Amino acid sequence: MLSWPVDLGLTVAGHGWVHLEPWRWEPETGTLSHAERIGGRIGTIAVRQRDATTLTAAWNGFLRRDDAEILRRVGRWVSAEWSPAAAIAALALSFAAEAALVARGGGRLLRCSTFYEDFIKTLLTVNTSWSGTCRMNAALVAEPGGGAFPLPEMLIEYGEERLRQIAKLGFRAPTAVTATRRMLDDGVIDAAGHGDVDRLDSDYLLSLKGIGPYAAAHCRMLLHDFSRIPVDSVVVAHLRERHATTPEAFIAARAECGIYLGLGYRLMRLKEKFQVAQVELPPPSQTTGSAY
């Protein structure tokens, strides 16, 4: 049971992560799944919605002793520990409809099982097309990941040359290797890729060679720091074409949102997306299994 509503459909729709390997989303059944590596074994974890405050998880390929780690990972996917109360209050004036989405169980951008996977996926969105991001992620999962996202040492061992030539990471390859090595050496991520949230602040992320303001802000957003909008060319074009404004003007006009401005913007994009497409998000599904 969860302490507040969590809408799995809204979480999945919050940004593009669900389209990147090794995620799978089945809208017909409302099932979200992800290939995982735990204790040297690769298996699959799947989650569905039972009701507004209950998700049910099922898995295969793991041992009974892995149960706690499996549920911890599912909890990270949907930010189960994040309390929405402060965000709802902060967004109420400038983003009333978006605040309502948070109250309904939105505002939880889908996260990977580890900070490291979120970090590398973010890096692979820099200066490329979305199709390029999808292709690079698929290549990492296939090799060196072997069916799941690679662990930090697996990516380092794969090496910059193969990351360039086989996975086609291009200029991102040296950043992936050197940033991974430094984060391990500094102890801000462990061998499994779990991150030390208190040490992964903006200053630290920006100190990693090849990580700029957009990538740092996006990584921080996935650590529940919504104080900045991760501004890239897509954000600039969206605000110009749909709202006839610039990122600077948009931010200045909504200063009352404080540390939740980035979340307000992300939910505004989500709301506009489904209004334009006239798509209804999938309803909660009835299922059985271990409850989260």
* Structure tokens, 188: 């801000």
Q: Are residues 61 and 187 in the same domain?
A: no
Q: Are residues 96 and 228 in the same domain?
A: yes
Query: Which pLDDT belongs to residue 287?
Result: 31
Q: Are residues 169 and 261 in the same domain?
A: no
Q: What is the C-alpha to C-alpha distance for residues 92 and 96, in angstroms, rounded to an integer?
A: 5
What digits encode the pLDDT tens for the residues 161-178?
Answer: 999 999 999 999 999 999
Q: Are residues 124 and 51 in the same domain?
A: no
Q: Minimal CA–CA distance to 148: which of 75, 43, 62?
A: 43
Query: Which pLDDT belongs to residue 235?
Result: 96
Domain assignment present for 52: yes
Q: Are residues 39 and 165 in the same domain?
A: no
Q: Are residues 120 and 198 in the same domain?
A: yes
Domain assignment present for 62: yes
Query: Which pLDDT belongs to residue 60?
Result: 96
Q: Are residues 1 and 96 in the same domain?
A: yes
Query: Which pLDDT belongs to residue 282?
Result: 40
Query: Which pLDDT belongs to residue 135?
Result: 98
Domain assignment present for 285: no
Query: Which pLDDT belongs to residue 226?
Result: 97
Query: Which pLDDT belongs to residue 205?
Result: 98
* Structure tokens, 189: 């991520």
* Structure tokens, 136: 């690079």
Q: What CATH number is attached to the domain comprising 8?
A: 3.30.310.20
Query: Which pLDDT belongs to residue 29?
Result: 94
- Identify whether the C-beta of residue 239 lies closer than 8 Å to the C-beta of residue 250: yes
Query: Which pLDDT belongs to residue 78?
Result: 97
Domain assignment present for 231: yes
Domain assignment present for 80: yes
Q: Are residues 65 and 207 in the same domain?
A: no
Q: H or E stretch including 55?
A: strand 54-60
Domain boundary pick from 190, 211, 232: 211
Which amino acid makes up residue 10?
L
- Identify whether the C-beta of residue 291 lies closer than 8 Å to the C-beta of residue 39: no
Domain assignment present for 163: yes
What is the b/e burial string over 33-52, where b = at least 16 CB atoms within 10 angstroms of the residue's CB? bbbbbbeeeebbbbbbbbee
Q: Are residues 62 and 187 in the same domain?
A: no
Q: Are residues 185 and 158 in the same domain?
A: yes
Residue 40 structural domain: 1-107+222-278
Q: Are residues 14 and 155 in the same domain?
A: no
Three-state SS for 194? coil
pLDDT < 50 regions, the chain: 276-292
Q: Into how many domains does the chain fold?
A: 2
Query: Which pLDDT belongs to residue 161?
Result: 98
What is the b/e burial string over 242-273, where b = at least 16 CB atoms within 10 angstroms of the residue's CB? eeeeebeebbeebeebeebbbbbbbbbbbbee
Q: Are residues 79 and 121 in the same domain?
A: no
Q: What is the C-alpha to C-alpha distance for residues 83 and 91, in angstroms, rounded to an integer?
A: 14
- Identify whether the C-beta of residue 95 lies closer than 8 Å to the C-beta of residue 72: no
DSSP letter, residue 128? S
Q: What angle do CA 75, 80, 83 make, to 5 degrees?
A: 160
pTM for the full model? 0.92
Domain assignment present for 289: no
Residue 252 makes CB contacts below 8 A (sequence gap 6+) with none
